[in-house]
Amino acid sequence: MIDLLVALLVVGGGFFCFAAGLGVLRLPDLLVRMHASTKAGTLGSGLILTAVALAFSEGTVTARAVAAIVFLLLTAPVAAHLIGRAAFRTGVPMDEKTRCEPGVAEALHHRQPEQSPR
């Protein structure tokens, strides 16, 4: 029974990782690609790490898998946010279908550049 659950988790994780890779290749602009890679990639990796923890059923392996899942859940959204913010601020071209809240683009483009500490 555990082997069947492990197989389903690995296949499901592989599907989500494949979807993340396909999204990076096929989606139109950086912000949408970033969304696909972080959401689907984190879910796929989490499912595969859960399968590893179930398959080995050892305390050290399970602790490492849980630590890796927690690390992914904490860092992937922050990294995606920072990448998206940097891309938006530097003027990376977006697809014409990508929309943002009214006034955000103008406020960021008319902002004074940040000064480096001296």
Query: Tens digits of per-residue pLDDT, 12-56?
Result: 999 999 999 999 999 888 888 888 889 999 999 999 999 999 999
Q: Which residues contact 108 (CB under 8 A, 6 or more apart)?
A: 88, 89
Q: Which residues contact 53 (CB under 8 A, 6 or more apart)?
A: 61, 62, 65, 66
Q: How confident is the model at residue 105 (pLDDT cuts 50, 70, 90)?
A: low
Give the residue with greater pLDDT, 112 vs 75. 75
Is the full-model pTM beyond 0.85?
A: no
| pLDDT reading at 112 higher than 60 | no
pLDDT at 5 over 80: yes
